[in-house]
Structure 1
């Protein structure tokens, strides 16, 4: 079986080195007392800018309350997946299925990296409470909508907010698609959506900015480095393509589903 050449069965040492250096620089800056002070100053300003209007603008409060619900994460997931598997957008139709499994493999790798990093962070005492729990005068949406918090898991605080898991998924999605983007318009859509969907946690105060632009970013870059710039994604995507081939063969017989690029693509 011949596969399109999205991924390479070789090591890209330059790319791998860069994707290890960037997280280390970010982490070093964050741990440096001056760097940490700058992050805190910026994050407090950003939080007050985004969070304070919740107390005086009911529309702002309601919009971000909905966006902070767990079910909204599923909506975001559908949007990201739709763009990922849309034929002839970032990926050619014949590359969609392989591109999807490449991203899926890197995402699984990031889960492993996240688990290992969390153990290190816990051991080193890097965890912290979210801004809604420590900044005086913070507006908690759960105080306005206690029913939503119980029924739909409204997310506006965390006792362990570093790193930002939600942000790391959005960033790895954006970085992955950026590798294959061909136009400025694609980049604008990809990063515009990534930043937009990171906003609910920041507005609600469930995360500090540094949880995202330090923690979420370093996890995503590490995963991209060890996934894309090594033979990992090449072999992993080949594996998933072979294992799922019978499933897609069956899906290809369904009237509507068979039209989807990820199903009809001749991978």
Structure 2
């Protein structure tokens, strides 16, 4: 498996590293800076002119709404889980545990990257802040938004779907990732590059070595042997 996948792993690593360096090395982040600024101000000006959009963004960035993204991922996973026998269901529970551990580890590694900045809502003066315009408690800012935690968790889920459940699950997971990453961009809690450079580069590099080698299967099989049989049936 490792030898067969090595060329793809190396390609994904090159892409991930090149993506990050294209942002990190140029002065003022090169061509990414105007993209970030344009995306932020496109949505930010609509917050003051479209009340429906304003409240939609406020609600979808409330902490309680994060349950909806978890529900969407859970329903997709459950649709495959329910089709399995006892042995298959036990394995899927263990894969879920490994997926969660992977997301936590990659997120921590991502925050070791030599980039730290405030969200766009805190970087420009006199911008529209959703919490101020609506009074609704919502996540409209971050003191350290790179890489995007929420986006990375969604991406980790997506690559696990591809690795263990196939292309159809992957396609649905991509849609879930896009839908539930957008609110953070629309409200200004993240720059476009927090997700499309920060989160994506970490997942391209880290997940390729983890999922395209025997590493993840080794942990799944090890947990299968160590965890009580009756507890996960």
Relative to the length of structure 2, the TM-score reads 0.85
Displacement of 1:237 in angstroms is 1.3
What corresponds to 2:197 in structure 1? 214
Which SS does the other structure have where 1:77 is aligned? helix
Q: 1:116 to 1:224 in 2, by over 3 A?
A: closer
Tell me the CA shift for residue 38 of structure 1.
1.2
User: Structure 1 residues 199, 182: closer, same or farther in 2, change over 3 A?
Assistant: closer
Q: What corresponds to 1:116 in structure 2?
A: 109
Residue by residue, what CA displacement relative to the aligned partner does 1:86-112 show, whole Å, maximum 9, x if unpaired?
1289xx635454345335314413422
* Structure 1 residues 96 and 138, CA gap change in structure 2 (3 angstroms): farther
Alpha-carbon shift at residue 132 of structure 1 (Å): 0.6
Q: Scaled by the length of structure 1, what TM-score is found?
A: 0.75
1:8-157 pair list within 5 angstroms: 12-33=5-26, 36-87=29-80, 93-94=84-85, 95=88, 97-121=90-114, 126-146=115-135, 148-149=136-137, 154-157=138-141
The whole-number CA distance in structure 1 between the counterparts of 2:56 and 2:64 is 14
Number of aligned residue pairs: 228
Is the deviation greater in 20-29 or in 95-104? 95-104
Alpha-carbon distance in 1 for matches of 2:89, 2:11? 27
Matches within 5 A, 1:115-264: 115-121=108-114, 126-146=115-135, 148-149=136-137, 154-179=138-163, 180-183=165-168, 186=169, 188-242=171-225, 243-249=227-233
1:166 Cα deviation (Å)? 0.4
Q: Offset of 1:21 from its aligned partner?
A: 2.0
Q: Check conservation: 1:106, 1:228, Cα contact below 8 A.
A: no
* RMSD after superposition: 2.5
8 Å contact 2:19–2:197 — kept in the other structure? yes
Structure 1 segments, 4+ long, off by >4 Å, are: 94-97
